[in-house]
Amino acid sequence: MVTAPEPGPSGGPFAGLRPGAAITGIGVALPPSARQDDLWDGFFSGHYAGPRAALARRIFANSGVRTRQSVVSPLLEDVSGWSTEQRMLRYQAEAIPLGKAAVSRALESAGLAAGDLGFFAVCSCTGYATPGLDILLARDLGMSPSVQRLFIGHMGCYAALPGLGTVGDYVTARGRPGLLLCVELTSLHLQPPAARTDIQQIVSHALFADAAAAVVVTPQTDSGYVVREVAAITDTSTADHMTWDVTDLGFRMGLSPKVPSVLAAHVRELVLEVLGRHRLGLADVGGWAVHPGGPKILDVVQDRLGLDDTALADSRGVLAAYGNCSSPTVLLALDELLRAPDPPRSIVMLAFGPGLTLYVTLLEASTLAA
């Protein structure tokens, strides 16, 4: 969603823009948490026994993760041998209450009822069923039978931002509230030990976790954060660098070590293009909500954009406290920014995933008179 800037009487970069869609509520729901060290000592040290143990231990220790949450903790249940059917049945059982909690908290935050929504979008790449979460949650939460629904599947870690753009376009065009829910249960896709050292699976098992996050988007008033632009770039020449394959034993992650270098090649140009269209520079951005795919991803973003340590402190904090939760993670970073005593006026959200795809979203605190 792009709104071209127009000069206004105040001369500011956003002055004179027509009212648009604004984030006015956010809600998060998390399953039980465990310490990374306990996960290693209590399960993964045995999962990666033998010659791979020392390498796996180093990867876990250097992941940037201190705690993470899961609906099926390996300390209690080893699902690595489960069939995909078993995992999908568990997905439905666990995702519904988690999604319901996140949506309910977002609606409460925005001061709306479920029946007020005109549009409901759900992002998830970790489970499928029909009827899907969009239908079942709309029913259980009391949304209108006429609510329009959209399920966005298998986009991966960046899905929240195109989802937000789609909800924002609906709100701008129809003048009715919409809601985006991202719910991912990566813990259901624990893979069995490989016969050989598989660094990609070790990295995946060291980083990923479960979460649900929802945002309410309404026509702009005098509160919330206006969605000024959602932009993307996809480097299809690197499509094999990040994969998420459906197998007989759940979904299997492919994660090339070349991902940070691809991100480094594109992130600065895309961010500067978006900011430039709104007469802004890097110094004008008050807050950064960056999907913490891993510590190297955050290091690359910080280096290429020339940011100081404080700029990505919230994103690094999300990685440490929650791990990489796929699509909800960038919303967790946004939630951290909005909880600050003095939230920033302008926020850039960044997320990355299969494609390889980079998404940038520009938010600005609403100043529209009520």
Segment 18-30 mean pLDDT:
90
pLDDT tens digit sequence for 59-91 = 999 999 999 999 999 999 999 999 999 999 999
**What is the token pair recorded at 230?**
């959602």
Domains 27-219 and 222-365 share a fold: yes
Nearest partner of 311 among 288, 282, 331, judged by Cα: 288
Could you confirm whether domain 222-365 is CATH 3.40.47.10? yes
Q: At the top level of CATH, which class does the domain 27-219 belong to?
A: alpha beta
Predicted confidence at residue 60, as pLDDT, reads 97
Alpha carbon distance 149, 1 (integer Å): 19
| Domain extents in the chain | 27-219, 222-365
Is pLDDT at 8 greater than 60 in this prediction? no
Alpha carbon distance 247, 241 (integer Å): 18
Predicted confidence at residue 369, as pLDDT, reads 40
Alpha carbon distance 366, 311 (integer Å): 22
Q: Provide the mean pLDDT of the chain.
A: 92
Predicted confidence at residue 49, as pLDDT, reads 82
Q: Pairing state of beta strands 178-185 and 67-69?
A: unpaired
Task: Indicate the pTM of the whole model.
Answer: 0.93
Predicted confidence at residue 16, as pLDDT, reads 41
Is pLDDT at 15 greater than 50 in this prediction? no
Predicted confidence at residue 143, as pLDDT, reads 98
pLDDT tens digit sequence for 204-243 = 999 999 999 999 999 988 789 999 999 999 999 999 998 9
pLDDT tens digit sequence for 152-176 = 999 999 999 999 999 999 999 999 9
Q: Which residue would you say has higher pLDDT here, 330 or 13?
A: 330
Going from the C-alpha of 221 to that of each of 23, 342, 366, 370, the distances in angstroms are 10, 19, 7, 6
Alpha carbon distance 171, 20 (integer Å): 8
Is pLDDT at 18 greater than 60 in this prediction? no
> Exposed e or buried b for every residue in 266-296, given b needs 16+ CB within 10 A?
bbbebbeebbebbebeeeebbbbbbbbbbbb
pLDDT tens digit sequence for 143-156 = 999 999 999 999 99
Segment 124-136 mean pLDDT:
95
pLDDT tens digit sequence for 338-356 = 999 999 999 999 999 999 9
